Amino acid sequence: MRDPPYFPVGSACGQTAELLTQDLERRRLARRRGRLVHFGLRYKVFACTMYHGMMFAGGRGNLDDLLTRLWRPGAHVLAAVSGGADSVALLLLLHERSQLGEIRLSAAHFEHGIRGQESLRDMHFVMDLCKRLQVPLSVGNEDVPELAAAQRMGLEQAAREARHRFLQEEMQRLGADCIALAHHKDDQAETVLMHLLRGAGADGACGMRARQGALVRPLLGASKQQLLDYLEERHQNYVLDGTNLLPNGPRNQLRLSAMPLLKQIYPGAEDALCRFARISQDQIDLLDRLAWDWLESHMAQLPMGRLIAYAAQRDLSGCGGRAMPFRADLAGSDRSAGLADAGAERALVSQALHGLYPGVGYDQIERLTALYFDQNGLLSIAGGVLAKCSGRGIYLLDEAANPPMQSELKDGAKLGDYATFSMQDAPALPIRDDPYRDALNKSALQGAVIRTRREGDRFQMLGAPGDRLLSDVLIDRKVDEPVRDWLPLVAIKDRILWIPGIGIAEQAKITPDCEATMLIYDGIRLI
């Protein structure tokens, strides 16, 4: 069987022609030795299932199952088409689905300006192909080398970000439901191997997912050779970027040198790596669910950031959280069980933190996890977040957040967006069952405001012999340092009359013959 016609691109590189020749010869020899699988049907299509191995096989039934699982029937799919074999195969497969009325199909091509005239050749090839198939095409371009220089990033990273930005913009403009990418089994195996060699954790072992937000990868179960065979059966040509055959980067070196050697030593290495990725995805999905359940019971959203409670201090009922026991609490005296539970707890906390800050690197998440268990210290992490340990837990503070200033004390008054006060006349009787409601002397509240603390504030607790600096009172009451500047206070000048959650001042106490006002605090409880 003859080779499919090529549209060779990239011949400006000195070694490209030789490498292309070697690649063609390798494929011819492989056929003679019976190593390549060919299918008898001219219009054979391939499919993978997301949940049962994602092994690629011929037959339209499997393809129907695949498309149903990745997007809803009738969805508008935007196919990213570079002009290479993978994306051309994807376009043809999706075009068949669109011809049957199962999906609406559009295509998008991004011309990055990296390879000069050869990039333009790719663009014109895609334009001609889409015109022949009558598939609507969007074309974007950008001077990626200039962009990379301006933003001081690598050329590949700049091209990837520019292409992704273009695809997202086109999806929004067209009202498409998803973006279809042409990554296949070989790409998945290389990605997993690269992540492992870089020291990635379990998340890196997951590789690429068949569906990730708006991105879908219908070909993850198909090998590169199966796609080439499909194109040959269709007599469909494609462009070839010769730079992909040059050993000038980690992925190309893996593809050209390491993977062929691995497959000699371990036949089926690609399948094994993809299976490992699929198993890792299932395990990470389970761990993610457990981590989010754990966060629901251990994390409180505060006006200055987040609080994640320590295991021994996990009562967040005042902040809207709820308690959940750790397995480590139930381990008993069996030291080995305790150690195993401690390891599971650490993995849970690490995954929860990674979920909160997905853009933060592995090393910082590890340091943040260690900080949580050490219960001491602070750490600045990417995105303007300061992690600080305190009495109840680890505070993840927004470094750009500032406490609100003050508001007039009146019924319905607000302090920032986290504190609301209400007022009503009440009997001159103390309220003992709720520290966030108190009866105060009405005359003492004339001219009072609600605000956060200021330097020099003083407070004389009801029944205390004299006043003290507010800062000393808060330390004695073990109020965590990160929340002290955010506490809502009722004050006149530098005299604090009421601290919700702590109590009233001697100056605002009620007497049998006074008029009383009941103040009610309704908001996030910081103490």
**Average pLDDT of span 259-284:** 92
d(CA 457, CA 148): 53
d(CA 185, CA 210): 11
pLDDT grade for 319, boundaries at 50, 70 and 90: low
**Average pLDDT of span 499-509:** 94
**Average pLDDT of span 84-95:** 94
DSSP run (H or E) holding 57: strand 57-58
Most confident of 12-21, 63-72, 471-480: 471-480
Angle between helices 60-70 and 85-99 (to 10 degrees): 90
Average pLDDT value over all residues in the chain: 81
Tens digit of each residue's pLDDT (9 = 90 or more) over 479-488: 999 999 999 9
Tens digit of each residue's pLDDT (9 = 90 or more) over 107-141: 999 988 777 778 889 999 999 999 999 999 999 98
| Helix, strand or coil, per DSSP, at residue 217 | coil
pLDDT grade for 339, boundaries at 50, 70 and 90: very low
Confidence at residue 312, expressed as pLDDT on a 0 to 100 scale: 61
Phi first, then psi: give them for residue 163, nearest 5 degrees.
-65, -45
Check pLDDT > 60 for residue 330: no
Tens digit of each residue's pLDDT (9 = 90 or more) over 348-394: 999 999 889 988 888 899 999 999 999 999 999 988 999 999 999 99
Confidence at residue 20, expressed as pLDDT on a 0 to 100 scale: 41
pLDDT grade for 321, boundaries at 50, 70 and 90: very low
**Average pLDDT of span 182-192:** 93
Residues 6+ apart with CB under 8 A from 170: 78, 108, 138, 140, 176
pLDDT grade for 198, boundaries at 50, 70 and 90: confident
Residues 397 and 307 sit within 8 Å (Cβ to Cβ):
no
Check pLDDT > 70 for residue 82: yes
Residues 508 and 473 sit within 8 Å (Cβ to Cβ):
no
Check pLDDT > 80 for residue 24: no
Cross-strand partners of 491:
449, 496
Residues 6+ apart with CB under 8 A from 423: 409, 410, 411, 517, 518, 519, 520
Using a pLDDT cut of 70, give the percent of the chain over it: 80
**Average pLDDT of span 150-162:** 80
**Average pLDDT of span 432-441:** 92
Instruction: Count other C-beta atoms under 10 Å from residue 200's C-beta.
Output: 15
d(CA 378, CA 390): 9
Tens digit of each residue's pLDDT (9 = 90 or more) over 278-291: 999 999 999 999 99
**Average pLDDT of span 189-200:** 88
Check pLDDT > 80 for residue 76: yes
Q: Using the 8-state DSSP alphabet, how is residue 258 labeled? A: I
DSSP run (H or E) holding 245: none
Tens digit of each residue's pLDDT (9 = 90 or more) over 28-58: 444 444 333 322 222 222 233 333 333 333 3
Tens digit of each residue's pLDDT (9 = 90 or more) over 394-420: 999 999 999 998 999 999 999 999 999
- Look at the block and give the residue holding tokens 């309220």: 431
Confidence at residue 160, expressed as pLDDT on a 0 to 100 scale: 85
Residues 6+ apart with CB under 8 A from 40: none
Confidence at residue 69, expressed as pLDDT on a 0 to 100 scale: 63
Burial (CB < 10 A; 0-12, 13-18, 19+), residue 107, is buried
Check pLDDT > 60 for residue 188: yes
* Backbone angle region of 59, left / alpha / beta, with phi > 0 → left and psi within -120 to 50 → alpha: left
**Average pLDDT of span 232-253:** 80
d(CA 54, CA 466): 74
